[in-house]
Amino acid sequence: MANIKSQKKRNRQNVVRNERNKAVRSEVKTRMKNALDAAEAGDADVATEATKDAQKKIDMAVSKGVMKKNTAARRKSRLQREVNRLLGS
């Protein structure tokens, strides 16, 4: 337990930010899973829309500082590559 006033405040801020970041990361994972599920089902239109939606959420996470730029680029690349593989195009 911190004794310094500023550290107590930082601890409170970290708790709030951790919850906020956790929600954003969870949403990114959910959208990526939806895109992969749609691709596995073979529905190209739904998979394309779900992939765009997932990439939009990933970019949103970068803008909020939850995810680094290179991490986002890697995830978007892997997601698109997997969707293309599953759809066979």
**DSSP H stretches of helix in 1-43:** 5-41
Confidence band (pLDDT; 50, 70, 90) for 1? confident
Rama region for 2: left / alpha / beta (φ>0; ψ in -120 to 50; rest): beta
Question: Which pLDDT score, from 0 to 100, does residue 89 have?
Answer: 65
Kindly report, residue by residue over 32-84, the tens digit of the pLDDT. Answer: 999 999 999 999 999 999 999 999 999 999 999 999 999 999 999 999 999 99
Per-domain residue ranges for the chain?
44-89
DSSP-assigned letters across all residues of 48-84: HHHHHHHHHHHHHHHHTTSS-HHHHHHHHHHHHHHHH
Average pLDDT over residues 19-28: 97
Closest CA to 72 of 86, 82, 62, 63: 62
Question: Which pLDDT score, from 0 to 100, does residue 88 have?
Answer: 87
